[in-house]
Structure 1
């Protein structure tokens, strides 16, 4: 009977120990903090393109070539001479009493003022980009905060060590 009482007491102590470990781990998880919280910054890029079309008329000079032509005619009349910027005309009376008349264009290029159409297309790309920056905290973590952060992992290792037999048996059942 004494053996049975001792076993019941040992079992009760083990159950209390496991319950205490579970409660301690839950409390340490609830009390842990996140010291390295980063600000979430959107990294979406937006691109906007503006296109400006501008039409200008630039004065220009085009040279038009006047073709060289000649024409002759003989008639009974008086003499004459004509000249323009494009042609020369000569007339004379021949020995037999007829009039010889020649008309010839001057072979040259004539400048004609015109307007040349020039189209300018300018594209401007606007890119809005948000840069992620890491901001340093003004003060360092206190000793207690560092202990809580490191203590969680130590506590996790201790619990795994204490419950290693139960974890191994559970793993064998499922594997």
Structure 2
């Protein structure tokens, strides 16, 4: 009985420990790339022509003038003078011009966060090394302590 208790104590001393896990984690990173392009584009600008009124009186016959931007009327008044009026038509005049257009494109690159548990190989501690060597020592002690029984069993097979 004493040998059994001694054997159980020695087996408990040299038993293994569980493996340890190492957790790795990576940080996320955000990278932004901005591309700026300048282009010149033909565009039409509308200029508003202001309304102008011009009047003139002369001694002559009736006249009427009209252009794409103005209207002119003339008439003889009761005293024999010529009344003439010139008015611009209110409108917007289209003028082709070049316009600079700026295009800004931003691209965001984002890496994902990854966390996973990875078993890591590591050096054995001094206690673990002692336990591994202790197994052979305990085995040698058991062989010496039980040598009579072992030899009896071996003689039966020989």
TM-score, length-normalised on structure 2? 0.48
Larger fraction in strand: 2
Larger fraction in helix: 1
